[in-house]
Structure 1
């Protein structure tokens, strides 16, 4: 699965990676024909009553990964900031996930409202690739996401450091201006990942050099909205939304 997942970043069109939060959502997305499935740290954390990006959802993340590897497609897991500042512990996590059969991980440099020291983040990246060399390490930099050092030069400085440390891809959530996207993809020698941008379709993002597009927490948030909207419709006598899967269809996902 890891070799196939790497190859998906070098196709004619960017890899559209939907992000799931539990087995059912991942299985449904796989059944819909998506080539690979990612996880959303917000969805995994919130579904378990845990705040996102707080480093508290390690057990829940690993447990979900162990279920998702049953799917017939590659799976990449969002491990927030690694759930530790100790490179050895983050390396242990990468090995554990790789041994389960996970094809990739997302590792971010955001820490609450600030960015990690780039040298410390390099050490995490380097240890993950040393311990689990086959795993696709998507190094996320939160310069634009946090609005800290939100410029192309600062982003490129971090991206190049992480690539030099062994990252297989670079993820810049919040990067949205066409000229900024083009500048980053032109200067980074590995596949660049952005979040889904409603104003820019996959074809335009491909023209700008993007190789991977993630939905992030969008699907989880949409599912919450749909669930509440359906409950309100039942309560208030409104019309149920179209497209609700049947009981048998959902039950079959676990098979």
Structure 2
């Protein structure tokens, strides 16, 4: 998949009336290719999993290199890749634009940037800088008014308007789950609205009916995988056969067979970060 067709198809997946992009979020090569094999045309990453795998805090700007490493690992695969880049790992818009350029070079066609309830003008400046540096990169601009704030509708609209004016291709409001508010926001914004799926919230079909353009799973799959691992060992310790699906050794190995034996951390641009 070449870069331009991937970009075109990724953006188009956000503009299918009644059929929002359901974006599963992976945390490594195995999880990404397994999800793609189930027919998902686009895969996102999750910052929580990247941070947790490295023993680092999420949302604190500590995983820039790990995020780039994962993008370089996944960027050549035949699916559209969108990268969760926290707040861009910096306050300087030019630094965020440099990161976006590196992600684009790695093969990513989308980036998710969160405001963390910092100044809206600063986040808008980051978005504008990214779009100047990499015009074709799909920028999903996230506001945390519901995730970290009190869900003020006026503030949410103020921020989303600013991000759209700066060039955001999509807008993301995690924590928003009320169907009436979701529907009202869909009608108010110009860009496709992205919401975070919650098992306790509206179903995918309900969100589709509301006009949502993208549904992200965030860290849900990663957390479920951790829970399944803990449950499985508890079953084994108790003398029970663990339930759930267990891919075979060969199935997990299969997607890696085309990788040259000489491939290393150096060849992929990834290296161990001292801690």
- Asked if Structure 1 and Structure 2 have the same fold, meaning a TM-score greater than 0.5 normalized by the shorter chain, the answer is yes
The residue number in structure 2 matching 1:30 is 36
Q: Which residue of 2 is the match for residue 2 of structure 1?
A: 7
Alignment match of 1:63 (pick from 69, 72, 76): 69
Give the Cα separation in 1 of the matches to 2:250 and 2:209: 42
Q: Distance in 2 between matches of 1:245 and 1:101?
A: 28
Deviations 1:58-104 (A, max 9, x none): 00000000011122110000000000001111000001111111010
Q: Using the alignment, how far apart are the partners of 2:72 and 2:186 within structure 1?
A: 33
Q: Which residue of 2 aligns with 1:217?
A: 219
Q: Which residue number corresponds to residue 155 of structure 2?
A: 154
Query: Contact 1:30–1:71 at 8 Å: present in 2 too?
Result: no
Q: Residue 185 in 1 paired to residue 190 in 2?
A: no
By how many angstroms is 1:249 displaced? 0.3
Q: Please point out which of 102, 106, 124 is paired with 1:100.
A: 106
Is 1:254 the counterpart of 2:250 in the alignment? no
User: Structure 1-normalised TM-score?
Assistant: 0.96
2:137 corresponds to which residue? Answer: 135
Taking the aligned partners of 2:47 and 2:237, their CA distance within structure 1 comes to 31
Q: Which has the higher helix share?
A: 1
The answer for unaligned runs of 5 or more in structure 1 is none
Once the two structures are superposed, residues 48-67 of structure 1 have per-residue CA deviations (whole angstroms, 9 ceiling, x without a partner) of: 11110010000000000001
Deviation at 1:132, TM superposition (A): 0.8
Aligned residue number for residue 58 of structure 2: 52
**Which residue number in structure 2 is paired with residue 20 of structure 1?**
26
In the alignment, the residues of structure 2 paired with residue 197 and residue 59 of structure 1 have an alpha-carbon distance, to the nearest angstrom, of: 29
How far residue 125 of structure 1 moved from its aligned partner, in angstroms, is 0.7
Q: Where do 1:167-182 residues align within 5 Å?
A: 167-182=168-183
Distance 1:197 1:14 in 2: 15
**1:109 correspondence with 2:109:** no
1:84 to 63, 87, 90: 90
Deviation at 1:165, TM superposition (A): 0.2
Matched, 1:236 2:242: no
The farther-off stretch of 123-132 and 226-235 is 226-235
Normalising by structure 2, we get a TM-score of 0.89
Name stretches of at least 5 consecutive residues in structure 2 with no aligned partner.
1-5, 258-275
Q: Distance in 1 between matches of 2:141 and 2:217?
A: 17
CA distance in 2, matches of 1:71, 1:241: 31
